[in-house]
């Protein structure tokens, strides 16, 4: 449906949004985005992207249930190890994993009463959705937070649909050298870094950034 209404500056200024109430490093790096914002997280392989997404998912469990669509990795041993590394059993009743990436099946699941508020799609490329399908899903469930994880090619999101999705996302995060950088609209302090794995970040020369509460001394993927 086309948006035909015109708003005055006062009307826009008076709009109120429910935002993520986190503080500390999460707020410092990512601001306080709306609970229904669209996230886009990209990064090259073996740079800490998957570990950052798991940390984010665990944090979001404080504010609602999280559905993780694990299309790229499934529930293989590497995924199992990551669950153990970040002690996801602590949020056992708030964190759920599926391997089915069919958008029809996901739509049916999300239409159910008390379905998860946060939805992680890992990855957008493996799901093989079009940009239009992703936007239609957001329009169908406007109160949910969709978090798209993207592969990269030559430091850019892989494929034109992913590039378009990144442009529209309110929170854009790129993970490189075990540091997650927020470059989205919600963050007033662009370039702030969230350390995914301190030892790995030091190896890449990023150790001067404020560390995250992630486990120390263990390799992140």
**Res 153: pLDDT:** 92
Task: In the chain, count H helices and then E strands.
Answer: 9, 10
d(CA 144, CA 123) in angstroms, rounded, equals 18
Q: What is the pLDDT of residues 101-130, one digit of tens each?
A: 999 999 999 999 999 999 999 999 999 999
Please provide the average confidence, as pLDDT, over all residues in the chain. Answer: 89
Question: Residue written as tokens 């590497």?
Answer: 78
Band of the pLDDT at 39, cuts 50, 70, 90?
A: very high
d(CA 202, CA 193) in angstroms, rounded, equals 13
d(CA 118, CA 68) in angstroms, rounded, equals 8
Using DSSP bridges, classify how beta strands 179-182 and 193-195 pair: parallel, antiparallel or unpaired: antiparallel
**Res 171: pLDDT:** 95
User: Do residues 49 and 81 lie in contact, with contact meaning Cβ atoms separated by under 8 Å?
Assistant: no
pLDDT at 54 over 70: yes
pLDDT at 2 over 90: no
Q: What is the pLDDT of residues 142-171, one digit of tens each?
A: 999 999 999 999 999 999 999 999 999 999
Residue 144 DSSP label = S
pLDDT at 219 over 50: no
The answer, as to whether pTM is greater than 0.75, is: yes
d(CA 143, CA 38) in angstroms, rounded, equals 10
Q: What is the pLDDT of residues 72-88, one digit of tens each?
A: 999 999 999 999 999 99
User: Do residues 218 and 85 lie in contact, with contact meaning Cβ atoms separated by under 8 Å?
Assistant: yes
At the topology level, CATH places domain 35-203 in Rossmann fold (3.40.50)
Domain ranges of the chain: 35-203
Query: Where is pLDDT greater, at 209 or 64?
Result: 64
- The residue length of the chain stands at 221
**Res 198: pLDDT:** 83
Tell me the Cα Rg of the chain: 17
């Amino acid at each position: 449906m086309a948006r035909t209404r015109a708003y005055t500056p006062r009307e826009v200024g008076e709009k109120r949004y429910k935002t993520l109430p986190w503080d500390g490093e999460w707020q410092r790096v990512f601001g306080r985005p709306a609970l229904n914002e669209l996230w886009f997280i990209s990064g090259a392989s073996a740079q800490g992207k998957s570990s950052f997404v798991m940390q984010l998912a665990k944090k979001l469990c404080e504010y609602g249930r999280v559905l993780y669509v694990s299309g790229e990795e499934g529930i293989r041993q590497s995924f199992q190890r990551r669950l153990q590394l970040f002690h996801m059993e602590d949020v056992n009743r708030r964190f759920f994993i599926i391997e089915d990436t069919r958008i029809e099946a996901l739509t049916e699941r999300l239409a159910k009463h008390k379905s998860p508020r946060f939805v992680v799609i890992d990855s957008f490329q493996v799901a093989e959705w079009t940009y239009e399908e992703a936007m239609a899903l957001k329009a169908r469930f406007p109160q949910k937070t969709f978090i798209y994880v993207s592969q990269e090619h030559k430091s850019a999101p892989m494929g034109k649909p992913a590039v378009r999705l990144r442009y529209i996302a309110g929170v854009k995060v790129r993970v490189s050298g075990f540091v997650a950088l927020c470059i989205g609209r919600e963050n007033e302090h662009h370039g702030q870094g969230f350390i995914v794995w301190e030892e790995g970040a030091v190896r890449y020369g990023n150790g001067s950034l404020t560390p995250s509460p992630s486990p120390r001394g263990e390799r992140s993927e």
